Amino acid sequence: MLAISHRGLEMPASPIRKLVPYAEAAKKRGTKVYHLNIGQPDIETPKMVLDAVRHSEFTILAYSHSAGNESYREKLVKYYAGVGIQVTADQIIVTTGGSEAIQFGFLACMDSGDEVIIPEPFYANYNGFAVAAGVKVVPVTSHIENGFALPPIEEIEKKITPRTKAIVICNPNNPTGYCYSREEMEQLKTLILKYQLYLFSDEAYREFCYEETQVSAMHLSGVDEHVIIMDTISKRYSACGGRIGAFITKNKSVLEAVMKFAQARLSPPSFAQIAGEAAIDLPADYFDTTKAEYKSRRDLIVQRLNAMENVYCPNPGGAFYAMAKLPIDDADKFCQWLLESFSYEGQTLMLAPATGFYSTPGLGKQEVRLAYVLNLNDINNAMNCLEKALIEYNSKK
C-alpha cells in the first residue's frame, strides 16, 4: 500500500520554519519583519573565505575524499590545536554541515529503540535526526530561573536505562546560550565513565563565549573513547550555506563505522571545503571582532528585554541566542500573532516559540528564543516592536 513511513509521519516539522508563511504574508502586506527567529547571521562571510572559492582554478568539480580533502583536514588539525584540542587528520571526517555529523553519530552509535539523553530545551533538529534513526530522545529539563545551567547530575542519572547509549550537549548552547562550566563538564565525565556512554558534544559556537573560554568535551581527560565532537563552519565564519561540518572522535571503531556512512554518500561539498580551508588562515583577530560585535548585541538585547514589564531574560554566556520568558499565554500563538495581526510603525518581528525546543509537552509556552543575528539598530527597532506588542497583545484579552 502507498503510505508514508511511521518515521515520516512522526518527523517533526521545523519549529523555526513553520511560521515562515506568516512572515511572507506580512512582507507582502508591506510590513518590515525583523528576523530574530533563525540563526542566520547578518555578518558578512569573510571576503578571503569567499575569494578562495571565487579564485579557485580547478577545471573538474570532482568528488573529494569521503572524509574530506586531506589538505583541509590537515589544516583543521592546526585549527583544533589552537583551541586546545589535539587531534590528527584521520580522527576528523568532514561532513555536510554539522547536521550530517549529528546524523552519522546517531546512526553509528545507536540502534532503533536506543535512548539518548539531552538537556532540554535543545536544538530542535536533534529530534528530527533521532526520529530518522529510530532513536528515543529522553529530555532532562533545564530551567530559565538559573540561566539553563546543566540539570543536577542526579536528575540525568535517574534517566539512564539499559537502552541509554549517549548524552548530547550543545556547548555553548543553542537555544539557551548557556556555556557549560568545567565543573559541569567534569560531572558529565563521571557519568559517562560510570555508565559507559558516549558524549556527543555539539560545539558549533565554540568561539562565541563572552565571559570565559569554552570547555570542550575534548578538554576532558581519560574519555577519548567516549567523546564525539560535532562541528560546523556555519556560525563560526558566517558560512551557513556552505554545508561543511566535521565529525571528530578518537574512538577508532566509531571512526570506521562512520566512514562507511560517509562513503555511501560519496563526499562532502567540494566548493565549500575550499572556503573552510581558507577560513583557517583568517587573521587571529577575526574572532575578536566578531565576538565583540555579538557581545554588544547580546548586551543590548538582554538589557532591552529585562527592561520590559514582566519579561525575564537570563544573560546568555555564549552562542548568539537569548531565551526570554514573556508575559504571554502561548508562545506559538503570540509569535504567529506578531506576524499576522501586529505591526508598529510598519514593522514587526519574528521569534522562535520555545515550545519547539522542549521535548516535554507543555513546557516553554511562555518562552521564546531570540537570535541576535541583526545589527544594533535593527535589534533596537525589533525590541521597540516587542515592547509595544506585549502591551497590545495583553490588552486585547
Q: Which of residues 327-386 bind its own copies (CB under 8 A)?
A: none
Between 225 and 387, name the residue whose CB sits nearer to its own copies. Answer: 225
Other Cβ atoms within 10 Å of 146 Cβ, number: 11
Q: How far is the CB of 164 from its own copies (least distance, A)?
A: 10
First-to-last CA distance in the chain? Answer: 48
C-alpha span between 321 and 372 (Å, rounded): 6
Burial class (CB in 10 A: 0-12, 13-18, 19+), 296: middle
Question: Based on CB atoms, which residue is closest to its own copies, 114 or 277?
Answer: 114
Q: Which is nearer to its own copies, 101 or 324 (CB)?
A: 101
Least distance to its own copies, CB of residue 197, Å? 8
When asked if residue 60 is in the footprint of its own copies (CB under 8 A), the reply is: yes
Binding mask 190-229 for its own copies (x = CB under 8 A): ------xxx--------------------------xx---
Give the whole-angstrom CA distance, residue 244 versus residue 95.
6
CB 366 within 8 A of CB 376: no
Contact between 66 and its own copies per CB under 8 A: yes
Residues 125-164, one symbol each (x = binds its own copies by CB under 8 A, - = not), give: x--xx--x-x------------------------------
Between CA 288 and CA 207 the distance in angstroms is: 9
100/378 with CB nearer its own copies:
100
Residue with cell 530574530: 36
The binder of its own copies chosen from 48, 53, 153, 282 (CB under 8 A): 53
x/- string (CB under 8 A) for its own copies, residues 91-110? -----xx-xx--x---xxxx
CB nearer to its own copies: pick between 326 and 335:
335
Q: Are strands 115-120 and 164-170 parallel, antiparallel or unpaired?
A: parallel
Residue 337 neighbours by CB distance under 10 Å: 18
Torsion 312-383-302-214 (CA) sign: positive
Complex with its own copies: residue 97 or 353, whichever CB lies closer: 97
By CB under 8 A, name the one of 21, 27, 42, 152 that touches its own copies: 42
Q: What minimum distance in Å lies between the beta carbon of 397 and its own copies? A: 32
Number of residues interacting with its own copies: please give it, by CB under 8 A.
83
Sign of CA dihedral 60, 63, 64, 68: positive
Q: Considering only CA atoms, which of 183, 188, 181, 119 is closest in space to residue 153?
A: 188
Residues 235-294 that bind its own copies (CB under 8 A): 238-243, 251, 253-254, 257-258, 260-261, 263-272, 275
Beta carbon of residue 39, minimum distance to its own copies (angstroms, whole number): 9
Q: Are strands 32-35 and 347-350 parallel, antiparallel or unpaired?
A: parallel
How far is it, in rounded angstroms, from Cα 232 to Cα 276?
9
- The least distance separating its own copies from the CB of residue 258, rounded to whole angstroms, comes to 8
CB-based contact 139:358 (threshold 8 Å): yes
